[in-house]
Structure 1
Amino acid sequence: MTLAISPALRAALAEWLTHLRGLDGAAENTLKAYNTDVAGWLDFLARHRGGTEGRHAAATAGQSEMRAFMAEVRGRGVSSRSLARTLSAVKGFTVWLADREGLDATATLSARAPKYRRKLPRPLSEDAARDVMDSVGDDARAPWIAARDTAVVTLLYGCGLRISEALGLTGACHPLPDTLRITGKGGKMRLVPVIPAAADAVDRYARLCPHDLTPAAPLFRGVRGGPLNPRLIAAAMERVRNRLGLPATATPHALRHSFATHLLSAGGDLRAIQELLGHASLSTTQAYTAVDTARLMQVYAASHPRA
C-alpha cells in the first residue's frame, strides 16, 4: 500500500531515524517499529486534510487530529500498550521536527496516551529454576548438545542475560572471565559478573563440542556448526517444562526474570539489578518489586495464623 506522505516528510522521517540510530543508539527493531508508527501518522494526516502535507503542518497537528488518529488505530484492534508506543513515537518525531522548524508542538504533546496495565514478569521459583538447569539436556540427541543447552540456560539464569546476548557470545569468551562485557539493547554496554556454575557449564560444553570454537565465531553452535538458533533453546525449554509440569510462561526469557526476582528477594539493590540487566530505565526494573511483593503476600496469606 502506498502511503500519502510528501517527499519532504519522508526525508524528515529518515533523518529522525538516523538521528535515533546515531546519537541515541536505538535498536534496529525499535527503529523499524518507530518508522511504521510515524509513517502511519503522516499518512493519516494527509488523508485527514485531503492532501500530502509539508514539514510545517506535521509539526503543528491539533489535538482533534491526534484523537482521530488514535481512534482509527484503535479501530484496527490495536492494544492499548501498542497504541501508547505509537503515540510515543509520534510525539518524539514531532518534537524533533518542531525544534528544527522553530515551531510549537504543544498540541501534539498534550495528547494523552491510553492507560494500560503492565504485565508483571513471570519468574520461576528457585527450585524450578534449578530443576530446569539440571534437566534441560536430558533428552538431547548427543552429550555435547545436552551440555550446550545446559550452558545457555545457566547463563540466562545465572547471569541474567537475554537469549540474544547469550547466543551473541563468541569463542573469544571461552573460558568465561570473571566479568562479561555485554552489549545489550540500543548498544548499551554493561558488565555482568560470571558465577562459577555458568563458567563450569560453558567449559563442559566447550570440551564436548565437536566444532572448532575459534575466537571470532559464535560460541554456541547448531548441529552443523552454524550459529545456534534461539528457537532450539525455546524448544528445549518447552520440553523440560512439560516434563517438570511448569507453566507455559517458563520460557528462556523467564529465566532472566527469575535471575532478577531472586536477587531482589535475597536483598539485592534495585539500582544494582538495573545495571546487571541493562535496563535503560529504573521503572522497568521496578516491575520486579511488584512480583516480590505479590509473592510475599501469598506467603503471608498462607502462613499467618489470622489470615
Structure 2
Amino acid sequence: MTDHSASLLPADTAVLDARTAWLAGLAARGLSANTVAAYERDTRQFLAFLAVHQGGPARLADLDAMKPMDVRAFLAERRREGVEGRSLARILSGLRGFLNYLERHHGINAAAARAVAAPTKPRSLPRPVAPEAARTMVSAAEGGDWIAARDAAVLGLLYGCGLRVGEATGLDAAEMRPPVALLRIRGKGGKERVVPVLPAVAALIEAYRAAAPFALEEGAFFRGEKGGRLSPRIVQRAMAAWRGALGLPDSATPHALRHAFASHVLAGGGDLRAIQELLGHARLSTTQVYTAVDDSRLVAAWRDAHPRAGA
C-alpha cells in the first residue's frame, strides 16, 4: 500500500480537518508520540485504501455509509501485506477511535468499525533462561562487595522463589527477619501469597545482610547506594551488564528468572496449581502457558502414562 502525505490524502477537507483535530486531541490527552504516530499512519492508510475501494476521495457521507465488510476488506489487505494480529488489533483500535470521534462531532454512524471483531493476538510464550544460565547469573553476583551480595540475593529471590523484581525490591526489613523461611508477598491486584524460601536463597539474603553498610531493621530491606529503596531499574541495568559479560541473550532479563523458576519447577514434576499459587497468578490459564514451553515434560508424561506409548 502506497503511503500518502497528509496534504495529498484522497479525502475531502472536512475529513482531513477532523482527522487533524482528532490526532491533536490524542496528543493533548497524553498519549505517547509513538502511539499518535501509529494512529496517524493507520488512518492515513485507511483513507488511501477507501479512495481506491470506493472509487473516489473519502467524504463524511462515505464514512457514514460504511459497512463492516469495508473495514474487514481494509484489514484483510493489511494482513496480505504481512501485518500480524497484534498490529491489526492496534489498527482497528485506532480506526474505531477516529470514527467514534467523527460520530461525536460530525454525526456519522461509526457502527461499522464497532461491529468488526478485533483480530486475535497470538499469546506470547514466556522466555525463561536455561537452568545453567540462571545459576550462572546468580553466582556471578556473589563474592564481591555489598552491592554484589545484594544483587545476588535479589536474583536468588527471582529464580529461587519466582518473585517479580518489584516484589523483591519492595520487601521491607520487618518481613526479612532471620531466619527467612517463608515470605508473605502482596502481588498484582493486592493478591497475597506465601512463598517458601530455599536454604540457598536464605543464605544469599544473610550474606547481603552481613555485608550491607546499613542497619536493616526497618524500612526497605534492599537498598541503593545512598540508602534508599532499591529501584527495579537498577536490577535491570545490573542484569544487562551481566548479560554482556556472560554472553547471554537479550532475553535474559530479571523477569526471565521468574519464568525460569516456573518452567524449571514444572519440568521437575511440580503441580501446575501449586506453581500458580507460588507465582500469584489469578487464573490457571496464565500459568498454563508454561506447559507450552516445557514440551519435553509433556512427552515424558505421555510416554509414562499412555498404555500404547511403548507399542
Q: State TM-score, norm by structure 2.
A: 0.61
The residue that corresponds to 1:80 in the other structure is 85
Q: Is the 8 A contact 2:141 2:149 kept in 1?
A: no
> Which residue identity lines up with residue 219 of structure 1 in the other structure?
F
The residue that corresponds to 2:212 in the other structure is 209
Q: Is the 8 A contact 1:134 1:150 kept in 2?
A: yes
> Which residue identity lines up with residue 117 of structure 2 in the other structure?
A
| Secondary structure in structure 1 of the residue aligned to 2:248 | coil
| Secondary structure in structure 1 of the residue aligned to 2:185 | strand
Larger gyration radius, structure 1 or structure 2: 2
Deviation at 1:80, TM superposition (A): 3.2
Deviation at 1:271, TM superposition (A): 2.5
**Over aligned residue pairs, what C-alpha RMSD do you find?**
4.9
- The verdict on how the C-alpha distance between 1:240 and 1:67 changes in structure 2, with shifts beyond 3 A counting, is same
> Which residue identity lines up with residue 134 of structure 1 in the other structure?
S
The residue that corresponds to 2:237 in the other structure is 235
Structure 2 residue 136 is matched with structure 1 residue 134: no
| From 184, 187, 193, the counterpart of 1:183 | 187
Q: Which runs of 5+ in 2 are unaligned?
A: 1-18, 48-57, 97-110, 301-311
Q: Is the 8 A contact 2:167 2:185 kept in 1?
A: no
For residues 108-157 of structure 1, the C-alpha deviation after alignment (integer angstroms, 9 at most, x for no partner) is 254241554x443222232332232222235x5x2x11210011000001
> Which residue identity lines up with residue 132 of structure 2 in the other structure?
D
Deviation at 1:86, TM superposition (A): 7.3
Deviation at 1:295, TM superposition (A): 7.4
| Secondary structure in structure 2 of the residue aligned to 1:286 | helix
Q: Is the 8 A contact 1:67 1:111 kept in 2?
A: no
For residues 44-89 of structure 1, the C-alpha deviation after alignment (integer angstroms, 9 at most, x for no partner) is 6xx98978xxxxx9xxx956457758989999x9863254367689
- Structure-2 separation of matches of 1:156 and 1:134: 13
> Which residue identity lines up with residue 129 of structure 2 in the other structure?
L
> Which residue identity lines up with residue 119 of structure 2 in the other structure?
A
> Which residue identity lines up with residue 179 of structure 1 in the other structure?
L
Aligned length: 260
Aligned counterparts, 1:134-173, within 5 A:
134-138=139-143, 140=144, 142=145, 144-173=146-175
- The verdict on how the C-alpha distance between 1:292 and 1:211 changes in structure 2, with shifts beyond 3 A counting, is same
The residue that corresponds to 2:11 in the other structure is none
The residue that corresponds to 2:114 in the other structure is 108
Deviation at 1:234, TM superposition (A): 2.6
- The verdict on how the C-alpha distance between 1:297 and 1:177 changes in structure 2, with shifts beyond 3 A counting, is closer
Deviation at 1:294, TM superposition (A): 5.3
- Structure-2 separation of matches of 1:208 and 1:86: 53
Q: Which runs of 5+ in 1 are unaligned?
A: 15-31, 52-56, 92-104, 299-307
- The verdict on how the C-alpha distance between 1:66 and 1:266 changes in structure 2, with shifts beyond 3 A counting, is same
- Structure-1 separation of matches of 2:94 and 2:191: 24
- The verdict on how the C-alpha distance between 1:275 and 1:74 changes in structure 2, with shifts beyond 3 A counting, is farther
